[in-house]
Amino acid sequence: MSERSERTGGRAADDGGAGTAVLVLEDGRVFHGTPYGARGETFGEMVFNTGMTGYQETLTDPSYHRQIVAMTAPHIGNTGVNDDDPESSRVWVAGYVVREPARVHSSWRATRSLDDYLADSGVVGIAIPGTRALTRHLRERGAMRAGIFSGGALAPAEELLERVRLSPPMEGADLVGQVSTAEPYVIPAVGERKYTVAAVDLGIKSMTPHRMAERGCEVHVLPATATAADILALDPDGVFFSNGPGDPATADGPVEALRGVLDAGRPFFGICFGNQIFGRALGLGTYKLRYGHRGVNQPVQDRRTGKVEISAHNHGFAVRAPLDGPFDTPYGPAEVSHVNLNDDCVEGLRLVGRPAFSVQYHPEAAAGPHDSAGLFDRFCALMERSRGRASGVAGEGRAVRAASEEPGATTDTGENESA
């Protein structure tokens, strides 16, 4: 299979479309290859993922909604597709770019090939030997709009470029409502129920509430439209805001809901998009990264302990916050808790005197390293302190909760121990 990378000019294909696909970037760069998955056309923001494993989790991550994802690992599809690893009920990527698709998949868990899975899901893809050239181009020029075309969608390159440039950009995109659950649902605790967590679904991955359930949390997953009143009506021990797609500057509803949660003093933990919502709730701004962080190998440092964790990421926006110490917010002083060692991007926030913190990455590790799994334990400890439970004593949750609801009872807010 040969590949050509060129500027627009002439036809995008010269073989009548049989066995041909093209990837067109909005700056005019064109990559030629072969169809992979469904045939047709698709549009989205062109991004790259540096993970060597976890392609099925990537495809079904709602945070990739309206994005065309290029995998930098050369071999994709070797283990096929199974029914256990999806992170949601469907494939969310707009398109898929690989270098060398597996000719034969091999895994005892596999039920079908990745090519068939993409075709059945209607996901238009392309295989090109030049994924390295594509990645270097995006690193130099930044993430941009793109389109993949094959079969009957092939046309002169100038026409395809025009269609790409008419597609909507990611900046200003309000997408959480398109991926969030329509109705609330509950993930029961594994074993004894110790805590009740209200989780706002901004594009939540299925492994995330499962990680909390493993720690004794009964997780009530709420739609992205949930208000502070909806959340607090559950009388939760803690509140969680999930990952999700789109521009956080458009998410005014979740920001207002979180402010109500913070006003009520409930313990809060946010990840990814939830980190950006937390930043906005504190009065901070957000901005678009040049090409984003997507993969399972990002080094993040805890600024308080100096510990470095390798973490899983998927974000194209970030919070703009001072790195030189605590800063004032409507809820008291806050600080940047984590930074990315590649580019000093803000990777975590915490309130100094209230039980609230967030990170910009995925501690549930689906897929990815498990370095950050302790963040769920930190959230549970935050809820524990906030309820006034004696640390480490199992089985007292309900009794302590009942006692705390007696007239005149007080609870520890966890001030100065929020993260």
> Per the structure block, which two tokens stand in for 232?
């607090």
- 226: which 2 tokens? 């949930």
Sign of CA dihedral 26, 31, 33, 37: negative
The dihedral sign for the CA sequence 378, 176, 81, 190: positive
Per the annotation, the verdict on 362 as an active-site residue is yes
Asked if 361 and 48 count as a contact pair (C-beta separation under 8 A), the reply is no
Angle between helix 374-387 and 397-404 (nearest 10): 40
Residue 407 Ramachandran class (φ > 0 left, ψ -120 to 50 alpha, else beta) = beta
Residue 345, CA distances (Å) to 65, 288, 295, 318 in order: 23, 11, 15, 7
Q: Given the residues 220, 362, 380, 384, select the one marked as catalytic.
A: 362
Active-site residue among 272, 309, 335, 384?
272
User: Residue 204 corresponds to which amino acid?
Assistant: I
Residues near 97 by Cβ (< 8 Å), separated by ≥ 6?
23, 68, 69, 70, 71, 125, 126, 127, 128, 131, 134, 148
100 as an active site residue: the answer is no
Nearest C-alpha neighbor of 217 from the set 348, 44, 101, 387: 387
Residue numbers annotated as active site:
272, 362, 364
